[in-house]
């Protein structure tokens, strides 16, 4: 039985990365931009029901709620080629349309006024699920709507659905460049408190690291938001492949989160991905031979991580889960783990098991990939504290 997940997209950032995510999922499951299953995808053994449900006319609708306090971004999504994909009843735009003005307090206080409408949408989607497992919240912690309204929704969801998992994909601001949002550190601090208190798992995505990857790894000279959003959607889709293409292990959200988080408070997870590809850059289309060892070794390199941290001599990994996609033999994985252990590439905590957990999953048969193997690392690392220090500076 599929364990359904409802996705909540809040604010400009949340809705933009959400739109990219649903576009990617449609490609991977053979679903057209109008939600109709393509003829070549009818015999697949994938679980579309985790993130989609079928309407009465059999077209697929995402289990998503789009929320924003200003209409611009959601209007752009509805006018895009995937605009017909979403359920219009699951879209909420504030009536006055003034936005939160990049202010956490404004977003939070407006949340109190509009919460009944949003909770009604969530309850309807939850009742529409056979076996709801949890919620994914996509947002930024630097602005007003994503941080303020996102914080409010986190508090309400943890009260209303205490036994459901709350996972967030939180985009942290780029503090290396001066921001035009003066209150950005305050927004981040207030949102971080709710992420620490109410979320079960926080996937940390750092704008500074994403911009660096687009420039250095994809060799795009003037990166814009669309390039970083494409990277985030890659992480989102890769982190959910074991749920959508089930194998023997890690078939649900709980079995993925449990090995990563040994104690409830240590639930801020950093990610890395390799090999990077992009349709926008010729140099990012270079095909090389990919092996499991090569992918797993690259995942541990700082330049492939989606979080810019400052590790110290004492910082170490608490846990690692690698999701390896492609045609891979378990013996390859075993040999690769032995080599990594022999070379002591990853330093682990002394009070826990020093092992990298690996989940093998299929690639989508409907999307062409030039590489035989690709990998996503989800890691719990003590150096994440340096990101918090930098965010609050």
Q: How do residues 17-38 score in pLDDT, each as one tens digit?
A: 999 999 999 998 989 888 888 8
Confidence class for position 286, pLDDT limits 50, 70, 90: low
Specify the pLDDT at position 94.
87
Q: What is the DSSP letter of 372?
A: S
Percent of the chain with pLDDT over 70: 95
What pTM was computed for the model? 0.92
Q: Specify the range with the lowest mean pLDDT, choosing from 107-121, 172-186, 286-300, 308-322.
A: 172-186
Cβ atoms within 10 A of the Cβ of 376, count?
24
Specify the pLDDT at position 378.
94
Q: Model confidence over 110-169: pLDDT tens digits?
A: 988 888 999 999 999 999 889 899 999 999 998 889 999 999 999 999 999 999 999 999
Confidence class for position 178, pLDDT limits 50, 70, 90: low
Tell me how far apart the 2 most distant CA atoms of the chain are, in Å. 61
What's the whole-number mean pLDDT along residues 238-263? 86
Q: Say if residue 282's pLDDT is above 50.
A: no
Confidence class for position 5, pLDDT limits 50, 70, 90: very high
Query: With b meaning 16 or more CB within 10 Å and e meaning fewer, what string describes 194-221?
Result: bbeebbbbbbbbbbbbbbbbbeebbebe
Q: Say if residue 197's pLDDT is above 90.
A: yes
Do 227 and 220 meet the contact criterion of CB atoms below 8 Å apart? yes
More confident residue, 116 or 40: 116
Q: Say if residue 222's pLDDT is above 90.
A: no
Q: What is the DSSP letter of 146?
A: I
Place of tokens 């783990």: 337
Q: What is the mean pLDDT of the chain?
A: 87
DSSP string, 188-213: HHHHHHHHHHH-SEEEEEEHHHHHHH
DSSP string, 243-286: HHS--SS--SHHHHHTTT-SSTT--EEEEEEES---TT-GGGG-
Q: Say if residue 392's pLDDT is above 80.
A: no
Q: Specify the range with the lowest mean pLDDT, choosing from 219-223, 250-254, 371-375.
A: 219-223
Specify the pLDDT at position 281.
46
What's the whole-number mean pLDDT along residues 282-310? 80
Confidence class for position 179, pLDDT limits 50, 70, 90: low
CA-CA distance, 119 to 122, in Å (whole number)?
Answer: 5
Cβ atoms within 10 A of the Cβ of 127, count?
8
CA-CA distance, 392 to 387, in Å (whole number)?
Answer: 9
Nearest 5°: phi and psi at 286?
-65, 130
CA-CA distance, 339 to 202, in Å (whole number)?
Answer: 30
Q: Say if residue 284's pLDDT is above 60.
A: no
Specify the pLDDT at position 156.
94
Specify the pLDDT at position 323.
92
Q: Specify the range with the lowest mean pLDDT, choosing from 90-104, 168-182, 369-383.
A: 168-182
């Amino acid at each position: 039985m599929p364990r359904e997940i409802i996705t909540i997209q809040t604010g400009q950032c949340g809705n933009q990365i959400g739109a990219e995510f649903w576009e990617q999922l449609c490609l991977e499951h053979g679903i057209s931009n109008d939600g109709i299953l393509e003829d070549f995808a009818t015999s697949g053994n994938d679980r579309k029901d985790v993130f989609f449900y079928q309407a009465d006319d059999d077209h697929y609708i995402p289990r998503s709620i789009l929320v924003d306090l200003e209409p611009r971004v959601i209007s752009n999504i509805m006018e895009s080629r995937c605009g017909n994909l979403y359920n219009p009843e699951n879209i909420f735009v504030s009536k006055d349309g003034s936005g939160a003005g990049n202010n956490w307090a404004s977003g939070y206080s407006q949340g109190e006024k509009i919460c009944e409408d949003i909770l009604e949408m969530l309850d309807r989607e939850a009742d529409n699920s056979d076996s709801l497992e949890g919620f994914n919240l996509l947002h930024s912690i630097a602005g007003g709507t994503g941080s303020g309204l996102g914080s409010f929704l986190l508090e309400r969801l943890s009260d209303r659905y205490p036994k459901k998992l709350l996972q967030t994909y939180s985009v942290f601001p780029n503090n290396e460049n001066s921001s035009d949002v003066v209150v950005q550190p305050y927004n981040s601090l207030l949102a971080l408190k709710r992420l620490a208190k109410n979320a079960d798992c926080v996937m940390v995505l750092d704008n500074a690291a994403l911009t660096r990857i687009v420039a250095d790894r994809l060799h795009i000279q003037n990166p814009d938001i669309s390039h970083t959003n494409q990277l985030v959607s890659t992480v989102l889709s890769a982190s959910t492949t074991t749920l959508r293409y089930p194998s023997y292990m890690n078939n649900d959200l709980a079995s993925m989160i449990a090995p990563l988080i040994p104690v409830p408070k240590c639930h801020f997870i950093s990610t890395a991905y390799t090999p990077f590809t992009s349709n926008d850059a010729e140099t990012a289309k270079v095909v090389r031979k990919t092996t499991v060892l090569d992918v797993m070794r690259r995942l541990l390199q700082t330049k492939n991580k989606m979080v810019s941290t400052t590790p110290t001599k004492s910082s170490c990994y608490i846990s690692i889960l690698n999701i390896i996609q492609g045609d891979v033999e378990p013996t390859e994985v075993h040999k690769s783990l032995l080599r990594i252990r022999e070379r002591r590439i990853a330093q682990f905590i002394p009070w826990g098991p020093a092992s990298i957990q690996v989940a093998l999953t299929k690639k989508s048969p409907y999307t062409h990939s030039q590489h035989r193997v690709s990998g996503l690392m989800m890691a719990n690392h003590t150096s994440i504290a340096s990101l918090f220090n930098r965010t609050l500076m």
